[in-house]
Amino acid sequence: MKIQKHNDTVRHAFTLQADRYAANPLMTNAERLDRLVGAVNPAKEHRVLDVATGPGFVAEAFLSICRIVVGVDITRAPLEITKKRLSIHGPSNLNFQLSDVSRLPFAGDEFDIVVSRLAIHHMELPGQVLEEMARVCRANGIVAVEDIIVSEHSRRANFQNRFEKLRDPSHTKAQPLSHLLRTFAHVGLEVENVIIGFLLQDMETWLANAHTPAARASKARALIERDANEDLSGTQPFRDGNNRLQFRQRTAIVVGRKLG
Ligand SMILES: C[S@@+](CC[C@H](N)C(=O)[O-])C[C@H]1O[C@@H](n2cnc3c(N)ncnc32)[C@H](O)[C@@H]1O
């Protein structure tokens, strides 16, 4: 019941955000996509699954190298944007499916590479999603997650998660890197590569992209202002030359190999 309710929140959020998300230069950035593809190091013959694909940028980046790519997402609007952008009208070596990724609609060992970007922090059951990603990956295949990570200090982690959730209620919880690594081990993945980075967010653009209602936006602004003065989360907010508040969402790419 709780999951169904959360899934409705996700669908609502990503239907509302679909157009702005698909046009967001942080999400379309080719260098960032190349970094993820490079970390996975795919081969031409590989079958790839992109979990919570949204408007399909990661799926498209893998398709430039790999034979078959499938994208799965629970929200119809971003999938429709992708199909239009890529002119997919019938069967193709890039396919999309509408599904909840906490139960992936695939048999075990079906993919060589299973990847997910910036989505695990929207999941009610992130451990179950990682388990599903590992299940559909073949032995010695690769599971890779890129996501927002928060501080290893729980008070600082909670502070960031608070303002993230005010901005977008579909945000459940971004995790510290150590939790993500533990989950990888727990579901039978050997971590082979970790790349730390960040997304530099302009606070007002970040709020506008999520269509955050005014009352919640002003609470989020107040928390980020406090963070700028008191160093409360590790996102290091600062005012740029135009007096606009900027902050850093730290990210990690974690690449694991499925143990046989
Ligand atoms: C921030 S977007 C990331 C999209 C894409 N991976 C990217 O990097 O551009 C998060 C996506 O996760 C999807 N999502 C969240 N929970 C999901 C679930 N349980 N099953 C499938 N998709 C889900 C949302 O619909 C949304 O498209």
Other CB atoms within 10 A of residue 10 CB: 23
Nearest alpha carbon, ligand 1 atom 10 = 119
Mean pLDDT of 224-252: 98
* 119 within a domain of the structure (yes/no): yes
- Any atom of ligand 1 within 6 Å of the Cβ of 78: yes
Neighbours of 24 (CB within 10 A): 16
Beta strands in 59-136 (DSSP E): 68-73, 94-98, 111-117
- For the chain, the domain total comes to 1
Q: Is 125 exposed, middle or buried (0-12, 13-18, 19+ CB in 10 A)?
A: middle
Helix (H, G, I), strand (E, B) or coil at 79: helix
250 lines ligand 1 (CB under 6 A): no
- Spatial separation of the C-alpha atoms in residues 125 and 139, rounded to whole Å: 23
Print the domain residue range for 18.
Answer: 2-149+172-201+249-258
Is 122 touching ligand 1 by the criterion CB < 6 Å?
A: yes
| Maximum C-alpha span of the chain | 54
- Predicted confidence (pLDDT) per residue in 70-115, tens digit: 999 999 999 999 988 888 776 679 999 999 999 999 999 999 999 9
Residue 159 resides in a domain: no
Is 221 domain-assigned? no
- Both tokens of 239, joined, read 């005012």
In a domain, residue 230? The reply is no
Question: How far away, in angstroms, is 55 Cα from ligand 1 center?
Answer: 9
Tell me the sheet residues that pair with 95: 70
How confident is the model over 134-192, as pLDDT tens digits? 999 999 999 999 999 999 999 999 999 999 999 999 999 999 999 999 999 999 999 99
Q: Is 210 among the domain residues?
A: no
Q: Compute CA distances 216 → 145, 165, 168, 196, 211, whole Å.
A: 29, 9, 9, 30, 10
In a domain, 228, yes or no: no
Pairwise CA distance, residues 58 & 32, whole Å: 10
30 lies in some domain:
yes
Over the chain, what is the mean pLDDT? Answer: 96
**Is residue 83 a part of any domain in this protein?**
yes
CATH of the domain at 180: 3.40.50.150
Q: Is the CB of 100 under 6 A from ligand 1?
A: yes
